[in-house]
Structure 1
Amino acid sequence: MLHEYRDVITHMKENGKEHAHFLRIFNKHNEIDDKITKGENGDVPLTDMELETLKKEKLKLKDEAYAILLQHKKEHNL
């Protein structure tokens, strides 16, 4: 997720206590991404509706994480 911001994400992970909300969003996004992949590969049974719901939730989390990253980058001149 947001590979172009790896340096900012790494900075935030290193200061985890300050960025607990971001890290929860980041980890939840990755969990959902994994579940979607398993569903699409047939490893986990999911209906089309469940997949669609997961994809929407993943996108919402990505948008939220992106906003936090941009703010952090701006505040810390990264």
Structure 2
Amino acid sequence: MFKECCPELIPVMEKVAAENPHIAKLIERHQELNKIIDEVEAGREHMEELELEKLKKEKLHIKDEVYAAVIEYKKEKGL
């Protein structure tokens, strides 16, 4: 999840998610993808490598979009 990569942004991310339903959905989807990927990589679930890579790319795209929204929010609010 985002806590591992950028814990300092979590408070701002929570504010953005509270104000923006799209970002809130993206964060939720990121969490879902994280769980699925972890299960596959731990060997508890099976998935074709191509499908796993697709999910990893989706997760990264979401992370980039949420991060951009957080940066924009910080800029707008002068944080």
Q: TM-score range by the shorter chain?
A: 0.7 to 0.9
Runs (4+) off by over 6 Å: none
Q: Distance in 2 between matches of 1:9 and 1:26?
A: 9
Question: What is the aligned-residue RMSD (CA, Å)?
Answer: 1.3
Paired residues for 1:1-78 under 5 Å: 1=2, 2-13=6-17, 16=18, 18-78=19-79
- Any stretches of 5+ residues in structure 1 without a counterpart? none
Cα displacement string for residues 7-60 of structure 1 (whole angstroms, at most 9, x for unaligned residues): 2023234xx2x3101101111011101100001011111111111111001000
CA deviation after TM superposition for structure 1 residue 76, in Å: 1.6
Q: Which range moved further: 41-50 or 30-39? A: 41-50
- Any stretches of 5+ residues in structure 2 without a counterpart? none
TM-score, normalised on structure 1?
Answer: 0.85
Q: Number of aligned residue pairs: give it.
A: 75
Q: Distance in 2 between matches of 1:38 and 1:8?
A: 29
Once the two structures are aligned, what percentage of the paired residues are identical? 36
CA deviation after TM superposition for structure 1 residue 4, in Å: 2.4
